[in-house]
Every structure is written in C-alpha cells, then in structure tokens.
Structure 1
Amino acid sequence: MTVSNSSAAAIDRPASRYGLVTGLTYAMFFMFAMTTDAVGEIISIAKVELSLSNTEASLFHWATMVGIALSGILLGFLADFLGRKNAIVLGLAIYGISSAVFFSSSSFSFYLALLFAGGLAIGIFKTAILALIGDISTSTSDHTRRMNACEGFFAIGAIVGPLTVVTLDSAGLSWRWLYLLAAAMCGVMILASLRTRFPAPVRQVETPKADMLSAVRLMGNRHAMGFSLAIALYVACEVAIFVWAPTLFSGYTGTPLAMAVAAYAVMIFFVLRAVGRFLALWILRIFDWKVVMSTFTGAIFICFLLSTLFGRDVAVFALPLSGLFMSMIYPTFNSKGISCLPKAKHGAAAGLILFFTAVSAAFAPLLMGYVSDVAGNGDMAVGFHLATVFAALLFALALYNLIADPAGGALANADSSDY
C-alpha cells in the first residue's frame, strides 16, 4: 500500500496528541443521542399536543431514521471526499440550524421536515466521526476500545435526553427546548472543531476518489456486508426494548419490586447499557473480542428466550438486564466492520453500516407491531417472539464469527498496513 507523505506523518504521530479531537467525538455522540433517543417521550407529548394518531406520531421516529439511512448510504462518502473536519462542520451546521428553528412553526409537517433534515445531518457528521476514530487509533483493537468509549457517551446522552424532556414537561415548558439546547451545543462544537487540529487522513494512491456511490459499492464487500447484517440484527433487538417494552409492560401487575422495575424498565435498560459500554474498555483488553461477542449475544438470546417462555413476570427483569450484554455489541461490530476496509474508505464503510442501522431501527419495530396485531390480536408479547428470533440469529452469527474468524485476515492486514 502506498500513502502520501503527509499521511505517513499522521500515522507516526501518537494518538494521545489528539485529546481535543477525542473529546469532540464524545461530545457529538452525547449530543445527538440526547435528541434521537428522547423521541419516545417527545411522541407521548406531541401526540396529545398535535392530536396525532399512533401512526402519525410514529413518524417522529421514522423521519429521523429515514434521513439517517439515506445520508449514510448516499452522503457517507463526504467524510472521505471533504475530509473529516469539513464533513463534521457541515453536518453540525445543518443539525444546528434544523434544531434552532423548531419554534418557528407548530406544524406537524414542519416538524417532520426538520427531523428529516436532522437525520441527514447526523448521517454526515457521524460517518465523519467514525472515520476520524480510525485516523486517531493505533490499532484495530484500539479502534474498538475508542468506539466503545464513544458509544458510552451516546448511552449517557440517551439517558439525559428523555429525562430532559420529562423535566421540561413537568415545568410546563415545551419539548422543543431540547432542540434549542442541541443547537447551542452544535454551535460550540463547530467553533471547537474549527480551532482544533485534526489528523490528516490516510490517502491511498490507488484508491478511486470518493463519490456518492462509494458506500453502495461496498455492498459487494463480504466483510462490510457481514458486519452490517450483524449490526442490523443487533439493532432490531435493541429497539424492540426501548420502543415496545413500555407497551409490553403496560398494565402489568405483580410483586411490588416487579411493578417498580416495569415502570422504569427502559431507563434501567439504558443505564445498564451505559455502564456496560464503559466496562468494555476493560473487558476487551483482557478477552478476545470474538469470545466476548459470542458470550454476550448468547446472554442476550437467553434473556429474550426466557421472556418468551415464561412471560412478563420474567421479562420484566430479563429484558432490562439484556442492556448490560448489549452494551458492547454495536460499537465492537461497527469498529471491526470499518477496520476491515482501508482508512481511505472508512467514511463510506461507516455510511454503509449506518444505513443498515437506521433501516433496522425503522422497520424492525414496525414488523414487531404488525406481527403482534396479526398473530396476537394486539398482544405485544407475540411481537417479542419475533425479537427472540432476531436475537437467535445474532447469536448464530457471533458463533460463526468465533469459529470461522472470517474477518481475521483483513483485520490483521489492517493492523500491519493501516495503523
């Protein structure tokens, strides 16, 4: 592999010199999680405020996810084409503007347009962040640990966002103030990005110039598609809980402890997910990542299977507990899928994976709702039977990865040539 002189110099610089860049990646993950994962609380308020049906209210989630999916697959190349810093500034600018004008109108269609624009922006700056993590990493293992740390801050944002909306509502203030806070954070991060030194990304002489089809072409890469499939199955399991667990436990009666856990099931899930992502920084230093993935996906499958076999009395504890095991699955598979590709293609690889993430987040809960209506007469427990199938398939893929190690050669080559 041939690299430019400036890129070679970037490889020689110690990653520790990019502490400010690392801090920015954490802040951006926190910020967009704060808004995207607050959508459940926002829907519950906006549904009454705007007199929406369930289907209409669900578009608050769909608009963002569709925007992210389209941006990931069509605009992910911008991280490679414009450079990490320029793509981040562009994405933050679009997200900040779309968030800042939420008070300009109270129209449902206007909100959807802003949420869609925000999704496009997330796709732009998130793919750039993910590519940037590769630039400041010293090995594929270091890349995985950094990805888990970023997702740890995402998990914290996923807790802070819903709590902020609930607090605003309790104080008689609009949920739209959350987006003004996000806009202010974008402004600060844009200024910080412009004043921060970013590493020069690796540029391979033989690599074609990035374009809008860069991510689409990666669909022919077995590593990119394999990890994308695993991530899609993981996301299907995760969204099953924070989208449908409140419905599953609605009206639940049991022991005082069980009823208390049911009332805060999603919050407990998010807290355990956050704790687990920071624990990953230690666990992945000790154990082989393939063993960790197979063990933890197996634990997720057991949690879902026990919930399916023994009903809500077990599900009320097992489903929130699965958050601890889910914590490192997404960032680890995401990291390995990106690291299998040359650094010059990390933006496109991140965009492809983000596309499958968003598509799964949009369609998996919809499919669960459809199954529960058709086969269970509205009983969401039937929808969780489908989620158990997703968990079983995810576990099967992790076992295959452990036994066959299909990406081992590509990751070893990346360690020797790209890091």
Structure 2
Amino acid sequence: MQQSQGTLIRWLTYLMFMMFAMTSDSVGEIIKEVKVAFDVTNAQASLMHSLPMLGIALSGLLLGFLADKLGRKPTIILGLGLFGLACYSFLLANDFVFIVALMSLSGIAVGVFKTGALALIGDICSSTKQHTATMNGAEAFFGVGAIIGPLLVAWLIHQGVAWQYLYVIAGGMCTLLIIIAAFVKYPENRKPVTASTDKVSLLKSLKLVKNPYALGFSLGAFLYVAAESAIYVWMPSYLVCDATTVKATYDCYTDGAARQLAIYSVTAFFILRALGRFVGIWMMARLNWALVLMLFSGAIVLCFGVGLAGGKQVALFLFPLTGIFMSVIYPTFNSKGISCFERHQHGSVAGVILFFTAAGAAFGPLVMGLVSDAMGGDAKYGFMVAMGFATILFLGLLYNYLYDPTSKRLSTIEASDYGAPSQS
C-alpha cells in the first residue's frame, strides 16, 4: 500500500510539471499572436515571459519555506488552486495588460506548488542517485508538456479558437490534480515546522542564498535557463525569413523538409529535450554527472556558435539540436543542489534554486529582446547574448568537473539522510 501511494505521488508530481510546461513553454508561439493583436514591441512582448518568471522567482524565494512549514500537501494544493484560478480567468482576458497580469499571477502560483513538489521528491527517494533520476523523470514530463503546449496553441489557432483556451484546458487539468492531491496519503516523515520557529522560517530560507552549495547550483541554473529560453522564446522570431511582415514567412528555405522544420522548430527542440531527459533517468544513475554536464554544456556553446556563424540555414538544425544537450542539465542542477541539504530544508533550498531559475528565465529573454531591438530588431543579436550565458556556464561546469567541490557534502548527506554509502 505504501509503495502504491509512493508511485501515485510520483505520477502526481510528474503531471504537475507537465501541466506547468504546457503554458510556460508555449509563450514563444503566443508572443507571435499577441505582437500582431496588440501591436507591441519585442521588449514589451517579452514581458509575457519575464514577468511570470519574476513571479515564480519571488514566490520561490519568499514562499518556498511553506513546504517545510505547512507541509507538502497544503502547499501543493494552495499553489494549484491559485494556478487554476488564474487559468480560468483567461476566459475574460482581451487586454494586453490583463493578459500579462494573469500570467504573472500564474507564475506566483507555480512558485508555490513547484517548491512543494520539489521537496516532495526528496521524501519519496531513498538515495541521492535516485533523487537525481526522479528529478530527470519530472523534467522529462515537463518536456512532454512543452511539446503538447505549442502544438495545442497552433491547433487552436488553426481551428479559429483563441489561444487563451490553452489556459482553460490547463485549468481543467489543475482541478483534477487538486482532487487527486487532496486524497493521496503523503509520507508521514515530513512534519510541519513548529510554531516556535514560524517567525524565522523565511529568514532561514533567505540565509540559504549565502550558502556556497545553494548559491553555486542556483547560479548554474540561472545561466542555463537564460541560455535555454533563447530557444523557445526567440528562435521562432529568428528563423522567419522576414520578421517585418505581419505573417511569418519561410520562403528562404527552399527545401520542403527544411521549411517544415523552421515552422515546427520549437516543437523539435522540445521533443529532443524530452527524449534526452528520459534517457537522462538511465544516464544519471550510471555515469559521472559532472562529466556529462561539462561535455553537454560545451556542445551547447558549439551549437550556438556554429549556428550563428552559418546563419539561419545552419541554425535551423543546430539550435533545435541543443535540446539533446540541454536535457539533463537543469534537473541535475536541481537535484544535486537540493541533495546538498538535509530533507527538512528541501522546500526552502528548492525555493532558492527556483528563484534563480525564474530570474534567469525573466532576465535572459528581456535582455535579448532589448539588444535585438537596439540592433534593428534582428533576433540574431539576442542569440549572441545567449551564447555568452552558455559560455560562462560551460566554464563553471569545467571547474566543477576538475575540482569536484560538492563530493564531500553529498557523501555526508547520503550517509545522514539516506543511511547509505555515497553514490553521488
């Protein structure tokens, strides 16, 4: 019975990640529609991505402790409830400011239920290696949602249905998840923090920012997401042949297969990223995680550099290909960062990492949009900024591989929290 409950909890977590991805990773396709409907600039349109990410960031940092204070179940249900409310409100959204406001509200909600879900993963795992594999599984389902979302938006628009109904569909999924979460029996070893420590829970969470393990993995997550977001936010704008026309054109791709790839480039990226994450469940249980991340981050820099040098015709293939190399980086950052701390701190440290994650997702595309606008609106210049983020990430992961600064800490946690020799 206990094993079946654990399996149900694991699937509930996976589905939460998938639902969130359906909305967040559709933003590139939605931006194309909103730019035409409301006549906004690249920088203004990027607020549809940056402000929700800012909401996730602040929510993760300031409310991440709720998973440790209130318990996993109440935190998850609270976040899902707020997310569902925001999704259903899109039925009334016909103004740019209102749309951005609802997206920002959904971001705050995600920060609440995602930190609860991330903390819950630690409760149902028996080792740091299993934690990393489970985290890759959760992010694999996130990748599946990232495939479904853009395709659903494209299908809705093709059928003459407003893209806002993507959020209505997500709201229906959210309602179902709330019902499931309410009746699932969560692990009993995660008790709420007592009243005597309520006042310092937020302060303790904020102090984790100074911790070298939390800060190191958080900065890595910031750099990774800043580079990754260039693909799904700005690649659709970069690959079109003439960005000045109202309707996207792909006439510069003479080959039919290349033209189709340009149209569905984001979907191709998400498919490769999802496949990579499913493989990552196997990979991270058997290989040296530091070596894999170092090599994969170097491959990302190479894809960006050669893609930019070769122009749209080369970037068409190399930019989506980065999905394979990006696949395992973020879930491993999340897992190893959380695993450097005792279980009763998992909610708080997950919130800190989520803060930097969302900050990178907010900051990266905004800076890319501003730089592109300053250079005449060409998204190529934004990708140069993204390549800079990827290069710094590679250098950091090269240092991590050569000096292995987390090995001793992970060994200590493996012995104290999981009662087993280190296998990190």
TM over 0.5, yes or no?
yes
- Cα distance, 1:16 vs structure 2: 6.5
Contact 1:15–1:136 (CA under 8 A) maintained in structure 2? no
Q: Tell me whether 1:222 sits opposite 2:212 in the alignment.
A: yes
> Which ranges of structure 1 fall in alignment gaps of 5 or more residues?
1-12
Compared CA separation, residues 44 and 20, structure 1 to 2 (3 A): same
Q: State how 1:166-315 maps to structure 2 within 5 Å.
A: 166-202=154-190, 209=198, 211-251=201-241, 253-256=252-255, 257-315=257-315
The residue type paired with residue 238 of structure 2 is: L
3-state SS of the aligned residue for 2:201?
Answer: coil
Where do residues 20-419 of structure 1 align in structure 2 (5 Å cutoff)? 20-202=8-190, 209=198, 211-251=201-241, 253-256=252-255, 257-374=257-374, 376-419=375-418
CA distance in 1, matches of 2:349, 2:3: 22
TM norm structure 1: 0.91
- Confirm or deny: 8 A CA contact 1:201 1:344 kept in the other structure: no
Aligned-residue offset at 1:51: 4.5
Percent identical: 48
For each residue in 1:272-316, what CA deviation from the matched residue of structure 2 results, as whole angstroms up to 9, or x when unmatched?
001000010111222111111112112112111222333333222
Q: Secondary structure at the match of 1:211?
A: helix
Structure 2 gap segments, 5+ residues each: 242-249, 419-424
Task: Give, in whole Å, the separation in 1 of the partners of 2:355 and 2:11.
Answer: 25
Deviation of the 1:137 alpha carbon = 0.7
- Give the distance between the partners of 1:304 and 1:285, measured in 2 at CA: 29
Question: 1:180-220: CA deviations, max 9, x gaps?
Answer: 21121111111111111111345699995562333321111
- Match of 1:287, SS state, is coil
1:402 CA drift (Å): 1.0
Assess, with a 3 A threshold, how the Cα gap between structure 1 residues 307 and 55 changes in structure 2: closer, same or farther.
closer
Alpha-carbon distance in structure 2 between the residues aligned to 1:254 and 1:183 = 38
SS in 2 for 1:378: coil
In structure 2, distance between residues paired with 1:72 and 1:99:
20
61-70 or 332-341, which moves further after superposition?
61-70
Contact in 1 for aligned 2:65/2:351 (Cα 8 Å): yes
Q: How far did 1:47 drift?
A: 3.4
Structure 2 counterpart of 1:9: none
Amino acid at match of 2:297: T
Q: Secondary structure at the match of 1:175?
A: coil
105-114 vs 186-195, greater mean Cα deviation: 105-114
Deviation at 1:31, TM superposition (A): 0.6
Which TM-score applies when normalising by structure 2? 0.90
Question: 1:50 and 1:249, CA in 2 relative to 1: closer, same or farther beyond 3 A?
Answer: closer
Higher mean C-alpha displacement, 68-77 vs 254-263: 254-263
Q: C-alpha distance in 2, partners of 1:182/1:212?
A: 31
The 3 A distance-change label for structure 1 pair 174 and 369 is: closer
Give the 3 Å change call, closer, same or farther, for CA 86–162 of structure 1 in structure 2. same
Quick one: which amino acid aligns to residue 416 of structure 1? A
User: Equivalent residue of 1:212, what SS?
Assistant: helix
Write the distance in 2 (CA, Å) between the matches of 1:190 and 1:34: 17
Q: Are 1:83 and 1:201, in contact at CA under 8 Å, matched by a contact in 2?
A: no
Paired residues of 1:233 and 1:390 also in contact (CA < 8 A): yes
Using the TM superposition, give the Cα deviation of residue 164 of structure 1 relative to its aligned residue in structure 2, in angstroms: 1.2
Alpha-carbon distance between aligned partners in 1 of 2:380 and 2:39, rounded to the nearest angstrom: 28
Q: Report the Cα distance in structure 2 between the residues aligned to 1:387 and 1:313, rounded to whole angstroms.
A: 19
Q: 90-99 vs 299-308, which deviates more?
A: 299-308
* 1:324 aligned counterpart, secondary structure: helix
Task: Give the Cα separation in 1 of the matches to 2:82 and 2:69.
Answer: 18
SS at 1:172 equivalent:
coil
